[in-house]
Amino acid sequence: MLEIYGINVTLMVANLDRAILFYTEILGLKLKSRFGNHWAEIAGPGITIGLHPTREPVASGDNMQIGIRVPDIQNARSILIEKGIVFKTTEDQVRLSHFKDPDDNILYLVQT
C-alpha cells in the first residue's frame, strides 16, 4: 500500500510576495515556510498550498479551484469584502461564493 504523509496544492504565481500577503493577511492562513524567492508553503486546516513563482506569464486562473469550508458564509463574506475581495455567489443545495487570488486562481467559500 502506498503510504502518503500529506498532499499539497502548488500554485504558480507571478509575484511570490504578493501571493504570500494574500493567503496570510487576507485569508488568515499561516506561512509554514519560505525558501527565498523560490518557494513558500501556506498552511490551512487540512491543506498545504505551495506557492512557486514562475518566469513564464501566469495563465489566467480558471485551471483550478480551492474550496474553503466555513460555518457561516455571510460572516466570512463580510470579513473578506472589508479586505477588498469581490464575490460571485450562487445558491443551490450548498451556498457557494467564488472569488479570485491575485493571479486569478479561483477560490470559493462553501457552506452546506
Q: What pTM, to 2 d.p., does this model score?
A: 0.79
What is the C-alpha to C-alpha distance for residues 76 and 93, in angstroms, rounded to an integer? 19
Tell me what pLDDT residue 42 has: 96
Tell me what pLDDT residue 75 has: 92
Domains of the chain and any CATH numbers: 8-111 (3.10.180.10)
Ordered mean pLDDT values, 10 residues apiece, the chain (112 residues):
74 93 97 95 92 77 75 91 89 80 88 78
What phi, psi does 96 have (nearest 5°)? -120, 140
Residues 65 and 78: beta-carbon distance below 8 Å: no
Tell me what pLDDT residue 63 has: 61
What is the C-alpha to C-alpha distance for residues 100 and 42, in angstroms, rounded to an integer? 17
Residues 108 and 70: beta-carbon distance below 8 Å: no
- What does DSSP say about strands 65-69 and 106-111: parallel, antiparallel, or unpaired? parallel
Residue of 57, 62, 51 lying closest to 21 (CA atoms): 51
Tell me what pLDDT residue 2 has: 61
Tell me what pLDDT residue 92 has: 66
Tell me what pLDDT residue 60 has: 65
Tell me what pLDDT residue 62 has: 56
What is the C-alpha to C-alpha distance for residues 51 and 17, in angstroms, rounded to an integer? 10
Residues 65 and 72: beta-carbon distance below 8 Å: no
